[in-house]
Amino acid sequence: MIFEPLSVADLQLIHDQTLKILADTGAVIEGKEAREILLSAGCLEDGKRLRFPSKLVEECLTDPEPVTLYGVDESIVLPLTEAPRTYAHNFGSVSMLLDHKDDIIREALVADLIDYIRISDKLTNLHMVVPSLRPTDLPEEVASLAMTAYALQNTQKPVDIGTASDTWEIRYLIRIAAAVRGSLEKLVAKPMGTLSISPLSPLNFPADITDAIIESARTGLPITMLPCPTRGLTAPVTLAGGLVQQNAEQLAFITLARLVNRRTPLVYTCRLAAANMRSGCVSGRDPDLGFSGACVAQIARNYGLPSGVYGMDTGAAVPDIQSGYERSLNALYPSMARATFVSGMGSLNAGLLASAEQLVIDDEIYSMVFHRQQGIDVSEESIGADVVRAVMDGGNYLAQVHTRDFMRRGELYSGKLGNESPFEEWRSSGRPTVREEAKAKVDQILAEHPGTVVSDPVSREIMSILKEAEEEKRN
């Protein structure tokens, strides 16, 4: 059961217009090596821009490399190519935190990041951990590396290796991840996450970014292609125009990466948002956010690529009713469209604020969203005509083996947060709210989490690499 908002004709027109933009307008490609690679493959020079022959782009789209991620605990396996389900992850990177204990907004610290990772580690419907918090008590020059270092030490799940803006960050992120896996060869064989790289919209690939793409592609590690266009500001205001432009950015990225290494595993990820044209801000209140994610999921699937899209987002600054309905709607569309990854768990205020209690609430929302993702089992066994007869002959449904078996298979949704008691019972129990329950769950998870999940020698190696990076930057 997959929601597909685009017709076959829509997909073809999006593809054709993408090729037209790349062939006629091209993309700004900086960096000597990137330009040499693309020009030698047949791209045409047009000032700073390179124009991409359609035949070259389509050749680079053929036979995409399958992508599978593994947890820090290698027994956890997430097949991304033709994934059997949608996965969810949190977001990054934010320096402001809604403190669940004091209910105040403050700067995030390293201790908060560790707590956030450990909470993420224990949530059933959070499948890959992104180190969401960017602590302000870290040296800024190595903050991105440190976020990954702390994440890898505090969860068994797959971990986003990190978002890099140059080859220096790529190299250190890889060293940190390889230290956890045991070697670079083992990391390539069983990656726990992807390297994320973002071009600038519209269609601008600075030298640091092209160098990072080349460096990453040569390793054979999976890459998340992450353009972030904003409709009305850095992309056409129409949803269709935004989809085509970001598709052109993806296909330019794919072409360069696969010319470097034909076997580069790639994840088609987009953060297409819309600006409030009165303020110029991206508010998070846009109902097109989830819908555009559904479209991106379908476009990526058309190319045989796994997808990553926005999911939960909201303009609300606290976990309130506004947050609930906005993030639920934005999570539902891409999940129904079978996006591979939906992001945003734990985010508030258009992604400017992190909340541990919201993280727990989001786990509950996704448990509801994912409940029927596989559709309905319509079979003679599930229908249970014999059970109906048995009850009509004098039995009851509670006593039937059919009822017991299907309850154990998860036929009925069973939530962990929120009220379902009669009003008087709820009132007599102190009128607990979802936020109060979520805060208590946060404290319970942190109290029960075993702590660092890697060995002491591995932890020391990770922190030694981080210290080396800091010293190198300062010198």
pLDDT of residue 282: 77
54 and 92 in a common domain: no
SS3 104: coil
187-196 pLDDT, tens digit per residue, is: 999 999 999 9
Q: What percentage of the chain has pLDDT greater than the value 70?
A: 100
Mean per-residue pLDDT over the chain, rounded = 93
Tell me, yes or no, whether 47 lies in a domain. yes
Tell me, yes or no, whether 266 lies in a domain. yes
Residue type, 337: A
Is the per-residue pLDDT at 147 higher than 90?
yes
Is the per-residue pLDDT at 411 higher than 90?
no
pLDDT of residue 312: 87
Tell me, yes or no, whether 220 lies in a domain. yes
Check: CB of residue 93 under 8 Å from CB of residue 134.
Answer: yes
Tell me, yes or no, whether 436 lies in a domain. no
324 and 225 in a common domain: yes
Q: How big is the CA angle at 16 (ends 15 and 21), to the nearest 5 degrees?
A: 100
16 and 45 in a common domain: yes
201-246 pLDDT, tens digit per residue, is: 999 999 999 999 999 999 999 999 999 999 999 999 999 999 999 9
283-333 pLDDT, tens digit per residue, is: 777 888 999 999 999 999 999 999 999 888 898 999 999 999 999 999 999
Tell me, yes or no, whether 27 lies in a domain. yes
| For range 342-353, the mean pLDDT | 92
54-67 pLDDT, tens digit per residue, is: 999 999 999 999 99
Q: How big is the CA angle at 339 (ends 152 and 308), to the nearest 5 degrees?
A: 45
Domain count, the chain: 2
Quote the CA–CA distance of 50 and 22 in Å, as a whole number.
Answer: 8
99 and 21 in a common domain: no
Closest to 360 measured CA to CA, from 447, 450, 413, 437: 437
- Domain boundaries, position 324: 68-374+460-468
| For range 169-186, the mean pLDDT | 96
Q: What percentage of the chain has pLDDT greater than the value 90?
A: 82
pLDDT of residue 214: 97
Return the minimum-mean-pLDDT range out of 4-13, 69-78, 404-413.
404-413
Q: Best-predicted range by mean pLDDT among 20-24, 366-370, 432-436?
A: 20-24
| For range 413-429, the mean pLDDT | 84
93 and 32 in a common domain: no
54 and 128 in a common domain: no
Domain boundary among 17, 39, 59: 59
Tell me, yes or no, whether 184 lies in a domain. yes
| For range 337-348, the mean pLDDT | 94
Closest to 235 measured CA to CA, from 206, 203, 197: 203
The whole-model pTM stands at 0.93
Tell me, yes or no, whether 88 lies in a domain. yes
Which strands make up the sheet holding 87-90, listed edge to edge?
A: 87-90, 341-345, 307-310, 266-269, 223-225, 195-197, 162-163
**Could you tell me the two tokens for 389?**
């007869």
207 and 113 in a common domain: yes
Is the per-residue pLDDT at 110 higher than 90?
yes
186 and 41 in a common domain: no
pLDDT of residue 17: 98
Residue type, 227: P
87 and 44 in a common domain: no
| Continuous segment of H or E residues that includes residue 227 | none
SS3 204: strand
Q: How big is the CA angle at 87 (ends 81 and 88), to the nearest 5 degrees?
A: 140
